[in-house]
Structure 1
Amino acid sequence: MPKGYVLAEIDVTDPQGYEAYKKLSSQAVAAHGGRFLVRGGEAVQLEGTRGPNRIVILEFDSPQQAQAFYDSAQYQEAAAVRRRASVSNFYRLTGS
């Protein structure tokens, strides 16, 4: 069965607010069986126009589990905090 991933490109505009989001989102990821593959750290852009200042990649056992995480009330509460503290793009990916 293919795995599910969530890829987030995030430009933090309010670092203090983003810290609150990280705490809430980490709890939601754990509650839905997700794992952080990439969280913060250096992102070196090799091509293209300016990218985000933060990239996060989550792994789930299935695409359905990744979608359930994103759609959950617990994560949507965290997402509301993120939207006030950053500008972002989120993607759900299917892979192996």
Structure 2
Amino acid sequence: MSAYFILEIHPDIKDQAIDDYLACISPDMTFHGGRVRSPGGKVQPVQGNREMNRLVIIEFRTVSIAREWYEEAKQANEGVARYRSLFACPAVIVAGMDG
């Protein structure tokens, strides 16, 4: 079953910081078979009143692979400033559907 890593970008984060973050995580993401589905695209609300800014969405084959990727990327980039700028943003891993 596919899985998605979803990172909600704070409004004060600049485009360059998102690009830097994606460049930082790209080698680990590729190794784990991850594919970027939204590289920080703007959110267009259609229901409710929750304000959201932008989302990074990355697809993986399974939840366990997504979790493994996240832990390895976090450890590998712990001291890297361009990774750390988005580390405080909320993130989740959610199971998807196959077929």
* Band of TM-score, shorter chain: 0.7 to 0.9
SS in 2 for 1:40: strand
Quote the offset at 1:4 in angstroms.
1.7
Q: In the alignment, which residue of structure 1 is the partner of 2:32?
A: 32
Which residue of structure 1 lines up, in the alignment, with residue 84 of structure 2?
Answer: 83
Matched residues, number: 92
- Runs of 4 or more above 3 Å deviation: 16-19, 78-83
Give 1:95's aligned residue.
96
RMSD of aligned Cα (Å): 2.4
TM-score by length of 2: 0.74
What does residue range 8-87 of structure 1 map to in structure 2 within 5 Å?
8-11=7-10, 13-15=12-14, 16-46=16-46, 47-51=48-52, 53-72=53-72, 75-76=73-74, 77=77, 81-84=82-85, 87=88
Q: Partner of 2:20: helix, strand, or coil?
A: helix
Tell me which moved more, 15-24 or 4-13. 15-24
| Residue 70 to residue 86, structure 1, CA distance change in 2 (3 Å) | closer
2:8 maps to a residue whose letter is: E
Q: What TM-score do the two structures reach when normalised by structure 1?
A: 0.76
Give ranges in structure 1 of 5+ residues lacking alignment. none
The verdict on how the C-alpha distance between 1:31 and 1:80 changes in structure 2, with shifts beyond 3 A counting, is: farther
Shift in CA distance, 62/89, structure 1 to aligned 2, threshold 3 Å? same
Q: Structure 2: any 5+ residue segments left out of the alignment?
A: none
Structure having the higher strand fraction is 1
Distance in 1, matches of 2:3 and 2:92, equals: 10
